[in-house]
Structure 1
Amino acid sequence: MNEGVEWALHSCLNLAWMEGKAVTATRLAAHYDLPSAYLNKQLQTLVKAGILTSTSGPKGGFRLAREPGEISVLDVVVALEGAEDAFRCEQVLRDAPGGRADVDYRKACLISQTMRSAELAWRRELAARTIADLRRDVEQRHPGAGERTRTALTTPKS
């Protein structure tokens, strides 16, 4: 998974604290000392996926397109990484000694079954967690994090 997923999830969390105010990619990137152009590319991908909206102009920037409770972590991951499974069974057993052309090894192979089971568990976990859940958990663990982030992203740089 590329680093843009981490950056995008942090950006979505930060935008959840912004109470609908737009924040530029440059400002979000500076918050974590990230490359602005690369973060902007990730954020534009989230716009195309309907997770964020963007507005141009002096008061422009990015906002969440939906309520934080309606955006799962999996939504962000799939938007950036695609919906394909992380493991793809190439059915190498078909060409191994004793392999058979008439067997679907994606279903018969224990390695394939194990990897598919893990993939489904991972996806279920990410689908069950929303940006609102992350916001709540961060605020419980780090009281004032939302206010500090909001202040940092809205205070003019000197």
Structure 2
Amino acid sequence: MKLSDGVEAAIHCAAVLAGLEEGRVLPASALAELHGLSPSYLLKHLQALAAAKMFESVPGPHGGYRLARAPERISLLDIVLAVEGREPAFRCAEIRQRGPGALEPSAYVKPCGIKVAMLKAEQAWRAVLAGTMLSEIVAGYQAEGDPRAVAFNCAFVARHQRPQSESSPKEPK
């Protein structure tokens, strides 16, 4: 199975936003710059995360993005589903019922063993992602990441974060 590059970008952006000071936002352009991504490419994923109520988009001259929920309340599965959609990764097309050896539909009452195995595997990886919170990813990076990278990211965020505009509501945590 292959998830899109947007999943990686979305998780990294969520981890960065988890480090914002209270009442601050980070512009999409800064997130794109930090990760070496095209702003237009990243923007569609940021918008998907905002639509899924994980990110909050703050408009205006002091606008940007911030987490809409505490990192302890955002799972990696939440992020994956916001970017990739809720459809299963494996979609059985019942090709066993095609071709020259295909039988009548009543011969296929039992589910295809391949489908059963693939859906079982998908349930397992979804369970792991559902049980992994963004806060764990952030804590792991802070504890185990190269101190130079951690320091760079913290300094980058400190330079680029903006105060929320006066008309924007405070971030719910």
Q: With structure 2 as the length reference, what TM-score do the two structures score?
A: 0.81
Compared with structure 1, are the counterparts of its residues 50 and 103 closer, same or farther at alpha carbon in structure 2 (3 Å cutoff)? farther
Q: For residues 33 and 142 of structure 2, what CA distance do their matches in structure 1 show?
A: 22
SS of the residue corresponding to residue 63 of structure 1 reads strand
CA positional deviation for 1:100: 3.7
Secondary structure at the aligned position of 2:25 is classed as coil
Is the partner of 2:125 in helix, strand or coil? helix
Aligned length, in residue pairs: 155
Match of 1:28 in 2: 31
Q: Distance in 1 between matches of 2:72 and 2:45?
A: 21
2:18 corresponds to which of 16, 27, 30: 16
Q: Which piece of structure 1 moves more, 136-145 or 27-36?
A: 136-145
2:67 to 64, 69, 80: 64
One-letter amino acid of the structure 1 residue matched with residue 136 of structure 2? D
Instruction: Give the alignment's Cα RMSD to 1 decimal.
Output: 1.9
- Structure 1 counterpart of 2:153: 149
Q: Please identify which structure carries the higher helix content.
A: 1
**What is the rounded CA distance, in whole Å, between the counterparts of 2:127 and 2:104 in structure 1?**
33
Aligned to 2:45, which of 19, 31, 42?
42
Structure 2: 5+ residue stretches without partners: 161-173
Conservation of the 8 A alpha-carbon contact between 1:5 and 1:77: yes
Q: Is the 8 A contact 1:18 1:150 kept in 2?
A: no
The runs of at least 4 aligned residues of structure 1 exceeding 3 Å deviation read 143-148
Deviation at 1:29, TM superposition (A): 0.7
Alignment of 1:3-152 (within 5 A): 3-20=5-22, 21-95=24-98, 97=101, 99-102=103-106, 108-142=111-145, 148-152=152-156
Structure 1: segments with no counterpart, 5+ residues: none
Residue identity (%) = 35
